[in-house]
Amino acid sequence: MVSVRLIRRKIRTVRNIRQITDAMKRVAAARLQRAQHRVAASRPYAEKLAQTLHRVGAAAGEIEHPLLHTREPRTTCVVVVGSDRGLCGSYNGNLLRFVERFIASQNSDVKVVPVNRKACEYFLGRRDRHEVLRTFVGLSDQSPAGDVSILSTYLRDLYASEQVDEVYLCYQRFVSAVVQRPTAQRFLPFSATVRAQDDVSEASEYILEPDPQTIMLALIPTYVDTQIYHAILEAAASEYGSRMMAMTNATQSATDMIEDLTLTFNKARQAAITTELVEIVAGAEALAEQ
């Protein structure tokens, strides 16, 4: 039988762990709520920017821009947005398995740009299988726009200089606090095709200054930067949701373990008391016989 003191020590340890996991769950829930607000707030801007881009593109006609050039995909760059911290359940594992399958499905030479610490650790440990072009860390929903623009500028320059022929963003798309879906989104080359006939007719209703071509050349990099910023927001919300669920499960497991240990503790204490009573009775009977 395990000693009562050892069981009491285990109960105290598990209670301390439960306090930590419960606090982490509450922090993740609060950050998830803020991340969801950021994702919702960024959507109107991204949608209006896309609408403006397509309308101006309809008026501009043919445009020459390095990000619009489509080439035969001989070299593909895969940007993997992981998490900076652990203790978020299967968030990184599911994403990295999805990325491995995606890379295996490509017919071109694949190069990787991992973002945040967990993705960097994974791919830097597998340099014999994947060529890592550059690493980025510390990018989340709380990062300034200038930090995110460093990544987007690097990717734009990488494509414009023809070092790669296409760029994909791989991240966890946020569906809910319980569901996050790994996604591979083509980032470059950028497509400026008109999505609706209304864009052509509405574009003629506006007077554009300066000319539409100049406006398009300014809008394309901005829109591309917005895409990657929105992907980082989605990934951050997914990370917080996954961490909240992982810490919820850990807290519940700690509660169940405390109940089991408490039952074992009561049984051990009862057995110890019974043993002491038997020894006292046996001693009393021995004295009486003398």
C-alpha separations of 104 from 78, 100, 126 in Å: 12, 6, 14
DSSP 21: H
Q: Token digits for 112?
A: 């990787």
The percent helix, strand, coil of the chain (3-state, each to 5) is 65, 10, 25
Q: Residues 6 or more apart from 166 whose CB is under 8 A from it?
A: 71, 73, 76, 77, 108, 159, 186, 188, 189
How far apart, in whole angstroms, are the C-alpha atoms of residue 73 and residue 109?
A: 9
Which of 77, 88, 120, 170 is catalytic? The answer is 88
Give the separation between CA 206 and CA 220, rounded to whole angstroms: 19
Q: Active-site residue 88, yes or no? A: yes
Residues marked as catalytic: 88
